[in-house]
């Protein structure tokens, strides 16, 4: 798998850095996904297929839980995942 493809599937390390100031627990990810789903459901301008694809991308296999893993990683080693997180 190419580097770019793996970033698309998992997420970019800069995303962890951007969220460094915030605690990102599994419960926080679930809550965020709940509100994301509510927002998608209330948006008539996005077709159902696109909504499904977006929720899969943001959901359990991707972004929300990538951030949980990043939060656990930063808590273990105390380092910032990217330069953007250092200024936060």
CATH number given to 3-86:
1.10.490.10
Identify the band that residue 88 occupies on the pLDDT scale cut at 50, 70 and 90. very low
What does the pLDDT look like over 41-69, one tens digit per residue? 999 999 999 998 888 877 765 677 777 76
pTM of the entire structure? 0.57
Give the separation between CA 85 and CA 18, rounded to whole angstroms: 5
DSSP 8-class letter at 61: T
The string of DSSP letters for 66-84 reads HHHHHHHHHHHH---SSHH
Task: Tokens 């994301």: give the residue.
Answer: 36
What are the extents of the domains in the chain? 3-86
pLDDT at position 70, please?
66
> What is the per-residue pLDDT for 48?
93
């Amino acid at each position: 798998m190419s580097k770019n493809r793996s970033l698309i599937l998992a997420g970019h390390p800069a995303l962890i850095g951007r969220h460094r100031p915030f605690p990102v627990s599994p419960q926080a990810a679930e809550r965020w996904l709940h509100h994301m789903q509510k927002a998608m459901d209330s948006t008539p301008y996005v077709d159902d297929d696109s909504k499904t694809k977006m929720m899969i991308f943001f959901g359990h296999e991707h972004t929300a839980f990538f951030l949980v893993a990043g939060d656990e990683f930063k808590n273990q080693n105390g380092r910032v995942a990217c330069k953007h997180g250092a200024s936060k």
